[in-house]
Structure 1
Amino acid sequence: MSAASCLLTEDQFLCSICLDVFTDPVAIPCGHNFCKTCITKDWDMNVPYQCPNCKEVFNTRPELQVNTFISEMAAQFRQSAQQKDSSSSSEQQAAKPGEVPCDVCTGTKLKALKSCLVCLASYCETHLEPHLTMSGLKRHQLIDPVENLEARMCMKHDKLLELFCKTDQMCVCMLCTVLDHKNHDVVPLKEDYEGKKAELGKTESEIQQMIQKRRLKIQEIKHSVELSEEDADREISDGVQVFTALKESVERSQAELIDTIKEKQRKTEKQAEGFIKELEQEISELKKRSTEVVQLSHSEDHLHLLQSFRTLNTAPPTKNWTGVRVSPPSYEGIVVRAVNQLEETLSKQMKKLLTEAELKRVQKSAVDVTLDPDTANPKLILSDDGKQVKHGDIRKDLPDNSERFDPCAIVLAKQSFSSGRFYYEVQVKEKTEWTLGVVRESINRKERIPLSPQNGCWMIWLRNENEYKALTDPPVLLSLKSQPERVGVFVDYEEGLVSFYDVDAAALIYSFTGCCFTEKLYPYFNPCLNAGGKNSAPLIISPVNHTE
């Protein structure tokens, strides 16, 4: 054994958790060794259970058994190390202020390593050796060094406090049990110590669970903040997009107003330029005639003057400019009309942008919806994936269960909702008639009933190819700019809101507000009659492609 121990190094006897020589070493399934107390505390604090060295995870907490062989080797190594250390400089082991000194040392008091509850003395490494090697002393109870061992003696009987009175909840000696604590519930200190230690372990475990719960709560709060930050960034982005578009519209309208005013001014200037040019031409002609008249008036040639007088005395042909005016263009009302037109444009554009932003928000509540064949009318044909339904004219032989709709050509989704928000989209392309919406669970499935919120139905329909209605009581005729090819259905259970959207146009079709939901809600689909193939296209539950 001594030969083998010489080949072993200190690192082989160190626990990787406490970095000290093994105390009650245990091996875990992956093969690594630790102090029993160290690995127990680690697993009490951390879940899942894993090896601190190789990080192997164990589904169930392994049972721990002390490895006696490694324990004995570690004890021998510790003893050998202690003997080696004791032969080194004793000054390094001298007790410092606050440390427990050895009661046996004379001269310089060395630092005590252990205190003996039987001897009521503390020992340094050297003076502790008999307690580690002598069979009689080995049975003494050693503890970490403590001062004032006399406090562990009964003040009244000067005996060791080695018992615990459960009745009075105090430590007592042997004489106390036959005198002051006679007939009390008294147990050895170790027995109550083990119980209290178990309670402390349980308390520690509960505290660790509380810590873990609070750590999880911190993660939850941080995650909520992250989600909030993402939502805030998206809202800012959407807001900037909306206001940028509105700003561009204002700038375009301003530019158009300026261009209109400038164009009016250009026309006025062009008209004035024409008049001025014509007047300057007449002035030029008049100046020429004036020169000729002056020259003739100074002529001494009687014949020439008389012959030319008739021609030069008559004024040249000119325009009568008396009634000619250049009137400044009228700008009255031009700014007001431009602002009114801008207001109308902005109103339409803002409504469209806000609807687009609203649609983007509700699309975040998208859910996966599939059709429930147990609710389908016997004449309906469902696709294998439960995403399409159409009317088949031929009645199938199906069980008449309580969930099935008959005689109405209706099918519900498998999914139901009793809280929160949900959204899904349905392709209605190439159909001439359809009905979509949500219904409460208790809707009458065996009779025809008026489709209205009073009867637990919130829906819209298409009839006669272009007649859209919201099925309120009475129904509301809807005026749509285009025929929807994809209809989005959004429900906010707590807010009592059911909204329908034209997904491709990013336009709101209709909203039921102020609804009072008290039951589960199911998505409702009615592809309507085949109409000789005219309405043969299916209703298709489409994947949600988030609006850009």
Structure 2
Amino acid sequence: MKSAKEKTNRSPETENQTAGEKDSKTIEESKIQEDLEESEDPQKPQDEEKALGPNDVTCDSCIDRPCRAKKSCLTCLVSYCEAHLRPHLENVKFQSHRLVEPLRDIERRTCETHRCALELFCCADARCVCQECVTEEHRGHNAVPIAEARRKIERELQDKQTDMVKTVTAAENAINKLQVNTVNIEASVKEVRGVIEEQFNILMAAVEQAKKEVSEILEVEERQALRQAEGIRVHLEQRCTELKKTQSQVEKITKNKNDIDFLQEYSQWKKEAADVSLPGVYIGLMDRLQSFSRVITRSTKEMCDHLLTSYTNKLKDTCKNDNVGIKTTVYAIIAAKKNMSIPNPETRDDFLKYVTPLTFDADTAHQYLRLTEERKKVTNTTPWQQSYPELPERFEHFKQVLTVESFYLGRHYFEVDMRGEGTHVGLTYKSIDRKRSESNSCITGNNFSWCVQWNGRSFSAWHSDVETPLSGPKATRIGVYVDYSGGVLAFYDVENGMALIHKYQAEFLEPLYPAVWLPKKECVLLLEPGAGSEPEPGSSLTTTSPVPSPK
């Protein structure tokens, strides 16, 4: 009676929907049954079955001889051939199972939680989901069909590829221009050297010492110009290689014909991909070395009685003027929509927008420095040496190490965990000397290195072999911020509300490499903020209070 009453109380719409579902299922089962009957038709040759191809899905129930699967069951997560599919068609217990066309890697195409087909892509969580997921843990999220998600991401990757091709082309053009600049630098220096030779031939033995000092000044200018061009070229080549590698990964993803694999590989790549963006640059050459010739000619006439001081003092003053000398000029090409005043970062979240993952360069590490944790941690192991090969890049006297990555143009940020007394952290040029024991081979003793030191009680800033004592509380996690174009290098106390420890204002000529000097048995751990690095409860690592920002 109850069943009859329920049947009587059903609305016409419900009865039509139920009838439609039954008809749809009946049609599907009939189609499968017809396929099986056709395959069993004695009029059709069974012994001429085509050989299995590399893309064919095999039956999971065939043990002795693999057969081609006819259907896959999303309930059983198994693919069946014609013979093993029969229970699903004839046994009432299997009528609720969902049969689909043969699927390869059926487990990956099915939701692990609900055992349903992955038919949607959750844009919020960047993962494939089933219909049940949308009503539960992904409720309210924007979920689109798999095919639509793929089309959208393919368009995004195509745009990304186009941008990368343009960037790589611009970088390669810049590298070629740098190589031309190197020839021009050498030619210009050679011309000035000729003037020097001509003028000094006029003098007697008394001018030999002055001639030597003037030549040394010019050679320093030449070496600096060549080192600058070489440093920029090495940086651009490295970034080019990274961009090409990323481009190759993107091409590999786009070639994946499997929608699920494609989306999952894309999601994994999106999480791990580092920022390899590179602004377009214009390479020029500012060659005004003719001022050298004029100074030399004038001084020869006027300063014969003061040879030992005249040339050197005047040329040193000349080198300090930006209107003379020779150096490569680089201008960042910024899109019109970005050519606006960008505010200085104030909170830690602001700084993290410019974060750059770093790894230590094992080829530069001193023999007493051990690199661990995927080359993100360096430890002074004195007196135990590491089995590093002898390389020109390796520091021989000072226990220092550089990172593989470098900073050039734009803004950059990274954090280090400093432990132990005497730890130095800073930035330097790639051209820093690696073998000598003089102070200019250390990141504290030259004019192209900037660093801070923790001595166990307080911080000190070091530049050009000059120490500047700093006041402030003890800090272990230090944030380092670089605004290359603005000439700003600042160190912040991350654990104390991003308090400013020290700020340098300088003109950077070459790409900057993060550097560490460990004179004692200490270690420094490079962190990757925002990627698993969480602050302790009660700490102020995620503070949003304003802090002094570089002007």
State the TM-score bracket (shorter-chain normalisation).
Answer: 0.3 to 0.5
What TM-score, normalized to structure 1? 0.33
Q: Which has the higher contact order (CA 8 A, sep 6+)?
A: 2
- The higher radius of gyration belongs to 1
